[in-house]
Amino acid sequence: MELIDALRTTGAVRDFRDTEVSDDTVHRVLDTARFAPNGGNRQAWRVVLVKDPGLRAALRDVYLPGWYEYLAQAAAGLTPWAVVTDRRLEQESVARAPEVARAAAEGPGGFAEHFDQVPVMLVLLADLSRLATVDRDADHYTMVGGASIYPFGWSILLAAREEGLAGVMTTMVVRDEDAVKELLGVPDTVSVAGVLALGHPVKQPTRLRRQPVESFATIDRFDGPPLGPA
């Protein structure tokens, strides 16, 4: 499909058909995505395609506690785990996560509860020895290292779109990164960046809603005039 159309219609999809996705298809997706921009062309990413049912179920179990904490914070009107937030209210809302979990157990479950059943599960990793993290010794929260990893994840989603697939990247399992690394045999020098779930979508997005450019782009300064069309 046309690039502009792909960029404007590739959204987060969490509802998949039961249709199997072949390893050949996954290979083609990764073969295209590997051309993503990255620092020094060091390609510091690694990918684990998780197929074993036991491992998938274990990763679901890692996913769920963080998901219920996320929902509890969102219900309290918070952006979950935001760097700038009301920490007291965050703690109070997280304490209600078990209530959220019990309520979820009474229903059919959604993406999180059936995380182990996604057609394709790709764990995205970052080799810390190959990332030029200029913020390494900073005394505050930054996100520089991701600049060489997450464009690859986005390229996976775009390449999947060309194959008639859709998906989403989630970082929820990073809440218990040690458990993920133990499950998959990931060494200490490698970090878990997230998980990509892919499959044939029940419904492919065609129109996405986003804020206009003027809401986030300014000229010369953070408080400068909005950037509008010519």
This prediction's pTM: 0.94
Q: DSSP assignment, residue 215?
A: G
Average pLDDT, consecutive stretches of 10 residues, N- to C-terminus, the chain (230 residues): 90 96 98 96 97 98 98 98 97 98 95 98 97 94 93 97 97 98 98 98 90 96 94
* Domain ranges, ordered by start, for the chain: 3-215
Separation of alpha carbons 158 and 10, rounded Å: 7
pLDDT at position 1: 79
pLDDT at position 176: 98
Superfamily the domain 3-215 falls into: NADH Oxidase (3.40.109.10)
Give yes or no for a contact between 81 and 73, defined as CB atoms under 8 angstroms apart.
Answer: yes
pLDDT at position 127: 97
Structure tokens at 84: 């700038």
What is the 3-state composition of the chain as percent helix, strand, coil, each rounded to the nearest 5?
45, 15, 40
The Cβ of residue 59 has, within 10 Å, a number of other Cβ atoms equal to 21
